[in-house]
Amino acid sequence: MSEERGIEKIRTYEEINQKIKSGDAVVLTADEFIKAVEESGLEKAAKEVDVVTTGTFGAMCSSGAFINFGHSEPPIKMFKCWLNDVPAYKGLAAVDCYIGATAMSETKGFEYGGGDVIEDLVSGKEIELRAEAYGTDCYPRRSIETTLTINDLNQAILLNPRNAYERYNAATNSTDKILYTYMGTLLPHYGNITYCGAGQLSPLYKDKGFETIGIGTRIFLGGGIGYIIGEGTQHNPQNQFGTIMVRGDLKQMNARYLRGATYNKYGTTLYVGVGIPIPIINERVAASAALRDDEIFTNILDYGVPSRSRPTVKKASYAELKSGKVQINQKEIPSSSLSSNKVAKEIALTLKNWIEQGTFLLNRPAELIPNHREFKPLEVKGKEPKVRDVMTREIIVGKPNDDIKDVARILIAKGVDHLPIVDNEGKLIGIITSWDLAKAVAQDKRQLHEIMTLKVVSAKEDESIDTVIRRMEQHNISGVPVVDQSDHIIGILTTDDISRKLVRRIIA
């Protein structure tokens, strides 16, 4: 992009707002704008149209609300709290909490979650509040049980760290079992395809250069007015997986656009309605706003592979996905959406009406959200067990001149399979296994040095268990002595130790 991002070449925000106030603004939904461009060309449509409205209504798990309950008499510093049995986050001040969409009821589980609490609050229903505290000099109360509605709350602020994915991968299932995922129900043997995202109505795809979307952008959120407060978590705009963080007052929202939901055997979530007005400030923005379903692509991934990198089965356009059938290997597979195309259209239309009525003005963002972000996976560090965490430290060792029969007796009594042989300074010089001993007794050998193995495979205490396991496999052995830098023996690691201790760790 040679020109400055966000340049207001065709019109400025001030000009647009002037026209909105005087009722002269030309506002089209993204669907309508696409038709206008098809009829009169991009350049002309961009000149004529001031604002393009968008919409999406889908499950957005990274959603939730900050709530302030107000102070009771006597007051309480809530340490744990539940709304209709759904736990809310209480690592905040005395009577503030955050209720997250995916938190689940401790009594109803999958049937009811944080998303449902938010929907019930917005619909004005009564909610049961239960809280526990340890009691302090300033906050003596130790528990509370009461009911409340949204009107009783000081603040109820929807604050969603990640909403409105620009587009999303679609899903299918290659296995022979039905799968229940966050992408819905997937029938076996590529029986169906599910997708989400609104395609040509998708708010972030309609300004994919992020030239008008930024901190302070006023938007439709849950049926009320909300604001973008920054990039969303996992924002990955260069791959068209941009996201936004949003905030809005729950008290002015509408449960039609905020619906608690459950994905069977996966968990609870919240369907959130988001609509963003795209001011046509330059031709690049206009071109992005004019993108059609058949120009917006996504990958259909195989959710039968439970890995971070699921194989792509096919690249498909939103036009193909929305048609209800997708061709895979000469077979026609039924496809259907998880987000609501109907409500997405409704949101774009509602936002258009608000602007036309002059009640909704556009904001120039205080700062555009980034159009490039490194996308990092999580590397698992530190937790992987080391040899020192698993090895046995109380070891029995032998000396080269020890009598074989004496040693055999001790090993049998203690149930030990590996006997490291050390010199007078405790340095490892050989090893004997119970199998070697049995053979030696049969052959009437006398002293350990006659039968010990001199080339010993050993391990260091800071090596990773996985590395040593591979070494044991390569040498086809079931135990290794552990030595320090100067070859002094400090322990022994056997396959028994590994299975016993690691299994216990997993169970714990």
How many residues at the interface with other proteins, by CB under 8 A? 33
Tell which positions 266-305 bind other proteins, by CB under 8 A: 269, 271
Regarding 59 and contact with other proteins (CB under 8 A), the answer is yes
Tell which positions 150-179 bind other proteins, by CB under 8 A: 178
CB 101 within 8 A of CB 113: yes
Nearer to other proteins, 57 or 82 (CB): 57
**Among the listed residues 185, 234, 238, 447, the single contact to other proteins using CB under 8 A:** 185
Is 138 one of the catalytic residues?
A: yes
Regarding 200 and contact with other proteins (CB under 8 A), the answer is no
Other Cβ atoms closer than 10 A to 368: 19
Regarding 201 and contact with other proteins (CB under 8 A), the answer is no
Report the DSSP beta bridge partners of residue 82.
87, 130
Regarding 375 and contact with other proteins (CB under 8 A), the answer is no
Regarding 260 and contact with other proteins (CB under 8 A), the answer is yes
What would the DSSP string read from start to end of 257-308? GEEEEEETTTEEEEEEEEE-EEE--SHHHHHHHT--GGG-EEEEEETTS-SS
Tokens of 344: 């997405």
**Among the listed residues 139, 210, 263, 318, the single contact to other proteins using CB under 8 A:** 263
**Among the listed residues 77, 259, 314, 352, the single contact to other proteins using CB under 8 A:** 259
CA-CA distance, 116 to 105, in Å (whole number)?
A: 10
Regarding 254 and contact with other proteins (CB under 8 A), the answer is no
**Among the listed residues 140, 191, 216, 311, the single contact to other proteins using CB under 8 A:** 191
Regarding 107 and contact with other proteins (CB under 8 A), the answer is no
Regarding 18 and contact with other proteins (CB under 8 A), the answer is no
Which residue matches tokens 């905040």? Answer: 92
Q: What letter would DSSP give residue 454?
A: S
Other Cβ atoms closer than 10 A to 81: 23
Regarding 338 and contact with other proteins (CB under 8 A), the answer is yes
Nearer to other proteins, 319 or 457 (CB): 319
Report the DSSP beta bridge partners of residue 333.
326
Nearer to other proteins, 203 or 365 (CB): 203
Is residue 129 within a helix (H) or strand (E), and if so which, with residue range? Answer: strand 127-132
Tokens of 447: 């002293």
CA-CA distance, 388 to 255, in Å (whole number)?
A: 56
Task: In angstroms, give the least distance from the CB of 153 to other proteins.
Answer: 25
Regarding 105 and contact with other proteins (CB under 8 A), the answer is no
Three-class SS state of 221: strand
Nearer to other proteins, 69 or 195 (CB): 195
Nearer to other proteins, 192 or 458 (CB): 192
CB 276 within 8 A of CB 220: yes
Regarding 124 and contact with other proteins (CB under 8 A), the answer is no
Task: In angstroms, give the least distance from the CB of 490 to other proteins.
Answer: 56
Task: In angstroms, give the least distance from the CB of 15 to other proteins.
Answer: 36
Contacts of 381 (CB under 8 A, 6+ apart): none
**Among the listed residues 149, 334, 439, 450, the single contact to other proteins using CB under 8 A:** 334
Nearer to other proteins, 292 or 373 (CB): 292
Regarding 193 and contact with other proteins (CB under 8 A), the answer is yes
Q: In Å, what is the CA distance from 131 to each residue of 66, 70, 485?
A: 16, 13, 56
CA-CA distance, 146 to 151, in Å (whole number)?
A: 14
**Among the listed residues 68, 123, 174, 192, the single contact to other proteins using CB under 8 A:** 192
Which residue matches tokens 């055999």? Answer: 408
Options 61, 81, 138, 196, the catalytic residue: 138
CA-CA distance, 43 to 53, in Å (whole number)?
A: 18
CB 170 within 8 A of CB 298: yes
Regarding 341 and contact with other proteins (CB under 8 A), the answer is yes
* Region near other proteins per CB under 8 A, out of 42-50, 57-65, 356-364, 378-386: 57-65
Relative to beta strand 51-53, strand 27-29 is parallel
CA-CA distance, 463 to 471, in Å (whole number)?
A: 11
Sheet holding 127-132, edge to edge: 86-88, 80-83, 127-132, 143-148
Which residue matches tokens 């929305």? Answer: 322
**Among the listed residues 262, 282, 350, 433, the single contact to other proteins using CB under 8 A:** 262
Q: In Å, what is the CA distance from 230 to each residue of 134, 246, 360, 453?
A: 37, 7, 20, 66
**Among the listed residues 9, 40, 74, 180, the single contact to other proteins using CB under 8 A:** 180
Regarding 194 and contact with other proteins (CB under 8 A), the answer is yes
Nearer to other proteins, 254 or 264 (CB): 264
* Region near other proteins per CB under 8 A, out of 71-79, 334-342, 463-471, 475-483: 334-342
CA-CA distance, 472 to 480, in Å (whole number)?
A: 8
Regarding 343 and contact with other proteins (CB under 8 A), the answer is yes
Nearer to other proteins, 119 or 402 (CB): 119
**Among the listed residues 264, 443, 453, 478, the single contact to other proteins using CB under 8 A:** 264
Three-class SS state of 478: coil
* Region near other proteins per CB under 8 A, out of 182-190, 386-394, 424-432, 456-464: 182-190
Binding site for other proteins (CB under 8 A): 57-59, 178, 180, 184-187, 191-194, 259-264, 269, 271, 324, 334-343, 345
Which residues form the catalytic set? 138
